[in-house]
Each structure stands twice: as C-alpha cells, then as structure tokens.
Copies of this chain bind each other. A is one copy, B any other.
Amino acid sequence: MNSTALPLVVLSEQFAKLPGIGMKTAQRLAYHVMSMSEEEARAFADAIITAHSTVKECSVCCNLTEKELCPVCDDDRRDQSTICVVETPKDVTAFERTNEYNGVYHVLHGLISPLDGITPDMIRIKELLKRVGSGDVTEVIMATNPTVEGEATAMYISKLIKPLGVKVTRLAFGLPVGGTLEFADEVTLFKALENRSEIN
C-alpha cells in the first residue's frame, strides 16, 4: 500500500526526470515544494511556463533569448565579423564571463554524433553557413568542447567554411581534454581563446 499522496508521487516523478536528480532527491524536492507558501509555489510553476513559452532562439545566432535578437547580436559595439561557434547557450554564458571576447556567437544546439543519431542537419550548421556566406564574416572560431564529438563537429564545419575563404580557428588546448566548457574557469577559457590556432 502506498502511503504517499498521489499528487506528491506525480511531482516526485517530474523532478526525477531532470538530469542528475534521482528518486530520493526528487522526493525530497517534492516535499520541499509542500513546505513553500502558496505564492512561492506559484512563482516556481510560473517561472517554468514563462521561461518555456517566452524564450526562443535568436534569429541570428540561435542563442536563447526572449526577444527577436539576443543581447549580443543586438549590441552594435560587438564585432560582427568574428563568430564564436559553441554547442550550447551555457557556453555563451561561460565566454561572456571572461569579459575578453568582443565578437558574436553561433549556438549549434548539439554536436554531430552518429552514435546518438545526431546528423549535421539536426544542429544549426545551415544557419551558420548562411551567416558566413553573407560576406561580412572574417573569422569563425570553433569553440566546441574538446571531446570526440566536439572535435568531429569542428572539423566538419571547418571543411564547409574554408572554401568560402573565411579563416577558421580552433580554441587552444589549454582546456583539459575530455572535460567540458561549462566548468572551465575564466582564466583557462581566456587563455584558450587567446591561443586559438588556424585549422589547416
């Protein structure tokens, strides 16, 4: 016999769907929601709905934003001729924290990974080629993670862009190989950005 109220079980299962949250933690989070005030619970639920319904991809760089253009693309002080290509919106945040990069971004929303069934047409490569083809771009920095998929995606994209006469560079391997961008500290990221090398 189950002594837990059904709505609590449902809520626990919702939490358990989140990455890195097991069933025990999910239960604890569900009970925590019960201890919230009416307004706090409503604010939490509203934040989910609002974020999900208002945040879309920037029409230029595919970063997540609630406007037509993300703050970076919309800023005319940013150098629009340099595009830093990253896997996820989190990586944009990581680069912005360095306060050293003045170009713009392009968010792929994934990496090519045949084993996971992710082919080049499933990530935002088409949109990147369209931007590069417009003629104003002089450099594309491949800033995907230093993993097998990240390297493969960087190589794939550089082979498509180089024939267009645009310089393609790769982040320097100051990054610990096999790690992820998200957890790199600011100095390491800045060094990796500074020592970027051209893909031959």
Interface residues of A (CB under 8 A from B): 1-8, 10-11, 13-14, 17-21, 24-25, 27-34, 36, 38, 40-55, 63-66, 70-72, 75, 88-90, 92-93, 96, 182-183
CB A10 to nearest CB in B, in angstroms, measures: 5
CB A7 to nearest CB in B, in angstroms, measures: 4
**Complex Cα–Cα for A88 and B19 (A):** 26
Kindly report which residue of chain B lies nearest to residue A29, judged by CB atoms: B18
Chain B residues with Cβ below 8 Å from A45 are: 45-46, 48-49
Chain B residues with Cβ below 8 Å from A33 are: 48, 51-52
Chain B residues with Cβ below 8 Å from A71 are: 1-3
**Stoichiometry, copies per complex:** 2
Q: Of A64, A66, A88, A182, which is in contact with the most chain B CB atoms at under 10 Å from its CB? A: A64
Pairwise interchain contact B89-A10, C-beta atoms closer than 8 A: no
CB A53 to nearest CB in B, in angstroms, measures: 8
Q: With A3-B71, A19-B32, A66-B7 as known contacts, state yes or no: A49 contacts B54, CB within 8 Å.
A: no
Pairwise interchain contact A3-B96, C-beta atoms closer than 8 A: yes
Chain B residues with Cβ below 8 Å from A64 are: 4-5, 8, 34
9 contacting pairs across A/B (C-beta < 8 A): A2-B71, A3-B70, A3-B72, A5-B65, A11-B51, A13-B47, A14-B44, A18-B32, A31-B89
